[in-house]
Structure 1
Amino acid sequence: MSEENLDPVGTKALAEAAKIVTEKTVTGIGAFLNKVCMPAAEEFGLLLQDRVRSWRASNAVAILERSRAHLERNEQAGEIHVHPRIAGKIIDKSSWVDAENLQEMWSGLFVSSCSPTGTDDSNLIFITLLDQLTASEATLIEFLCKDTRICTSEHRLVLAETQVIVPLEGLRKVTSIDSASELDIAIDHLREVGLLQMESGFNLNSSPTPVAILTPSALGLNLFARTQGWTSDPYDFYEKGSPVGVREIAPVAPNTSHPSGYHDAF
Structure 2
Amino acid sequence: MFNLTKIKETLWQLSSDEQPRAERFAPSKLGALYGHHAASWTAGVKNISSSGVYLATEKRLSTGEVINLTLLEEDQILLEKENPNEKTDCRISIHARVVRQGDDGIGLSFVLPTGLDATLWSVMVRNIALLTDKIQIEEMFRMLRTILFECHLCQAEAEEAILLLGGQLTPLSVASLIKIAILAEEELATHPHFDRMRAHPKLLAHLLRQGSWAQDETLLHLWAGLLVASCKVDAADDSNQVCVDLLGHVGPEQARIWICGCERALATVSEDHYVPDVPVRLSLEEMQHIADRPDPNRPSQDTAYLYHLGLLEKLFDFTSYKVIDSFDITPSRLGIEVYKRCRGYDQKLPDDLVEKAKDCLRNIFVEPQAQVAQDQTPHYQSTGSSSRKSD
- TM-score of Structure 1 vs Structure 2, range by shorter chain: 0.7 to 0.9
Whether 1:90 and 2:218 are equivalent positions in the alignment is no
Deviation at 1:22, TM superposition (A): 1.6
Native 8 Å contact 1:201 1:213 kept in 2: no
Whether 1:214 and 2:329 are equivalent positions in the alignment is yes
Deviations, residues 189-239 of structure 1 (Å, cap 9, x unaligned): 1001110113555895877x521122100010001100011124889xxxx
Deviation at 1:63, TM superposition (A): 0.6
Native 8 Å contact 2:197 2:232 kept in 1: yes
SS in 2 for 1:195: coil
Q: CA RMSD in A?
A: 2.9
Whether 1:227 and 2:342 are equivalent positions in the alignment is yes
Q: Distance in 1 between matches of 2:140 and 2:153?
A: 20
Native 8 Å contact 1:203 1:212 kept in 2: no
Alignment of 1:1-150 (within 5 A): 16-38=133-155, 41-50=158-167, 53-149=170-266
Native 8 Å contact 1:202 1:212 kept in 2: no
Moved more, 219-228 or 43-52: 43-52
Distance 1:90 1:234, change over 3 A: closer
Native 8 Å contact 2:303 2:315 kept in 1: no
Deviation at 1:113, TM superposition (A): 0.3
Alignment-derived partner of residue 175 in structure 1: 291
Deviation at 1:39, TM superposition (A): 6.3
Q: Distance in 1 between matches of 2:273 and 2:319?
A: 28
TM-score (norm 1): 0.73
Deviation at 1:151, TM superposition (A): 5.1
Distance 1:52 1:103, change over 3 A: closer
Q: Distance in 2 between matches of 1:41 and 1:25?
A: 17
Higher relative contact order structure (alpha carbons within 8 Å, sequence separation ≥ 6): 1
Segments of 5+ residues of structure 2 without an aligned counterpart are 1-129, 351-391
Q: Distance in 2 between matches of 1:152 and 1:54?
A: 42
Q: Higher helix fraction: Structure 1 or Structure 2? A: 1
Alignment-derived partner of residue 165 in structure 1: 281
SS in 1 for 2:158: helix
Q: Distance in 2 between matches of 1:39 and 1:131?
A: 27
Amino acid at match of 1:231: D
Amino acid at match of 2:187: H
Q: Distance in 2 between matches of 1:62 and 1:217?
A: 29
SS in 1 for 2:344: coil
Q: Would you identify which runs of 4 or more consecutive aligned residues in structure 1 move more than 4 Å?
A: 150-153, 199-207, 232-235
Amino acid at match of 1:20: I
Q: Distance in 1 between matches of 2:343 and 2:263?
A: 10
TM-score (norm 2): 0.51
Amino acid at match of 2:202: R
Aligned length: 220
Distance 1:141 1:159, change over 3 A: same
Q: Higher strand fraction: Structure 1 or Structure 2? A: 2
Deviations, residues 165-193 of structure 1 (Å, cap 9, x unaligned): 21111110011112222211111110011
Alignment-derived partner of residue 93 in structure 2: none
Native 8 Å contact 1:202 1:210 kept in 2: no
Whether 1:185 and 2:277 are equivalent positions in the alignment is no
